[in-house]
Amino acid sequence: MESIAQNPWAALAYLVAGVCFILALRGLSSPATSQRGNRAGMIGMTIAVVTTLATHVPRIAPHCPTGAICENYGTPVLDTLTLVELLAAIGIGAAIGIVTARRIAMTAMPQLVAAFHSLVGLAAVLVAGAAFLNPGAFGIASDGVIFLQSRIEMGLGVAIGAITFSGSVIAFLKLNGNMGGKPILLPGRHVINLGMLAAILGLIAYFTQDQSPWIFWTVTALSFAIGFLLIIPIGGADMPVVVSMLNSYSGWAAAAMGFTLHNSAMIITGALVGSSGAILSYIMCRAMNRSFLSVIAGGFGGDAGGGASGAAAVDRPWKRGSAEDAAFLMSQAEQVIIVPGYGMAVAQAQHVLREMADKLKAHGVRVKYAIHPVAGRMPGHMNVLLAEANVPYDEVFELEDINSEFAQTDVAFVIGANDVTNPAAKTDKSSPIYGMPILDVEKAKTVLFIKRSMGGVGYAGVDNEVFYRDNTMMLLADAKKMVEEIVKSLD
C-alpha cells in the first residue's frame, strides 16, 4: 500500500476533491444552483474514489523464478483480484443506489435520507471493528499494540457511528409511519441518557490505556442503545431537525474513520458534512424556537405532560367550499400566497399547483409561495418539490421574508400544511409546537385550506384553530384532485 506522503499526486487529487465538495455545499445552498452543486459533488467523489483505488489497492511482486536472484526482482503490480472485488462491490452499491433513486417517491425522500444516514453509521462501525480486529492491516499498530491516537479515533468513530445507525433507524421508522410521531417518554430518561453517555466517554478514555476487546465492544453496544434512546423521545414536529442532526453525526463518524484509514478525502468530506449539518440543525432549532441542546439530547427538559394533541374537534362549526368557490375568490384577488406542506408532497400536487399559479397570473393575480423552514419531513423538502415543478425561484419566499405580507393578502391558499400554520404555537403553552414561529395565514382576508378530511390532525398531533375561523373555507379532498378542479374552473 502506498502512503499519501509518498505520493504527492494523490494528495493533490484529494485536495481537488475537497475543493469540489466545498463547491457542492455552496451550490446546494440555493435551489437555483443546486444542480451545479450536485455535479461538483459527483466530480469530487469520483476523483476521491479513483485516487483511493489507485493508492490503496495492495500491490504484489511478480513470482521469483526458482534459482534466480530475487532481490528487487520486477516491479510490484496491482493485486488484480482485490481490485476486481472492490469494483464489484462499488458496482453493486451503485446499482442499488440508481434503482432506489429512480423508484423512490418524493414523499419518501425523508425516510430515504434517514436510511442512508444509518448506512453511513453502520459503515463506520464496521470499519472500526475491522481495524480493531486486524490493526496491522490498517497500519495503526506495532507488535499488535494499537497506537494511542488510533485508539482515540477508533473509540470516537465507533461510538458516533453506532449512535448514527440506531438513531437513524428510529427516525426512519417514525417518518415511514411504522412508529407514531408522538414522543415516547421513558421514566428517568435524562438520568439514563446522561449515565450511558458518561459510561461511553469513560470507557473510551479507558480504552486509550487498555485495548481489551470487552471495552471496545461495550462502547459499541452502549452507543447503539443510546442512539435509540435519544431519538425515541423526539416528536414528529421536530423530525426535520433530527434528520439534519443525524446528517451531522454521519459526517463526524466518516471523519473519524478517515483518520483510522489515513484517508484525507474522508476526513475532509466528513468534516464538511458534520459541520454543515450541525450549523443547519442550529438554524432550524432557532426557526422552531427549540433549544439545540434539548433536541440533540433527546428532548432533554421536555414536558411529559403532552399538550393540545388528540383528535380534531369536528363538532365545531366550520365552512366548506368547492373548487368553483376557490377559483372565483382567487381569480378576483390581487395577491395570492400559496403555502405548501406535506399534504402537497403526498398527493404529488406540485405540478398542477404550478399550473394553477400560471393561470392565476394570466388573470392578473400576483402569486407568491411561502415556505416554512420545517414544512415537510426534512430541510428544504418544499423547495425541492417546487423546483421539480419549475416554479420560478423569485416567487418562493422564506417565512421571515413573507410573513408580514399575509395581512395585506387577499387569499392564503394552504395545501396540506397544518402544524406550520397553527396559531396554537403562539397561544397554547401546553401545545407540543408552542414557541415555533408559524406562517400567519389567519391574517389573510380569506384562507383556503385543502385537507383530506376534518378528522385528521398534523404530524405533531395538534388540531388547527384556523379551520374554524370565519375567514377560512375548507376544501376537503385529495390535494391534487382539488387543484385540478380549481384549474378547470379557472378555465
Positions marked active-site: 419
CA–CA dist 301, 435 (Å, integer): 15
| 192 burial type by CB count under 10 A (0-12 exposed, 13-18 middle, 19+ buried) | middle
Q: Report residue 370: phi and psi, to 5°.
A: -110, 125
CA–CA dist 247, 270 (Å, integer): 10
Which triple of cell numbers denotes residue 296?
440533540
Whether 283 and 302 have beta carbons less than 8 Å apart is answered as: no
Which triple of cell numbers denotes residue 233?
423521545
Instruction: Report the largest interatomic distance among the alpha carbons of the chain, rounded to a whole angstrom.
Output: 100
For strands 145-146 and 141-142, give the pairing. antiparallel
Which strand (E) or helix (H) includes residue 448? strand 446-451
CA–CA dist 5, 301 (Å, integer): 49
User: What number of CA atoms fall less than 13 Å from residue 320's CA on the CB side?
Assistant: 8
Whether 185 and 302 have beta carbons less than 8 Å apart is answered as: yes
CA–CA dist 153, 256 (Å, integer): 6
Whether 410 and 365 have beta carbons less than 8 Å apart is answered as: no
Three-class SS state of 310: coil
Q: Report residue 242: phi and psi, to 5°.
A: -60, -45
CA–CA dist 93, 87 (Å, integer): 10
Residue with cell 423521545: 233
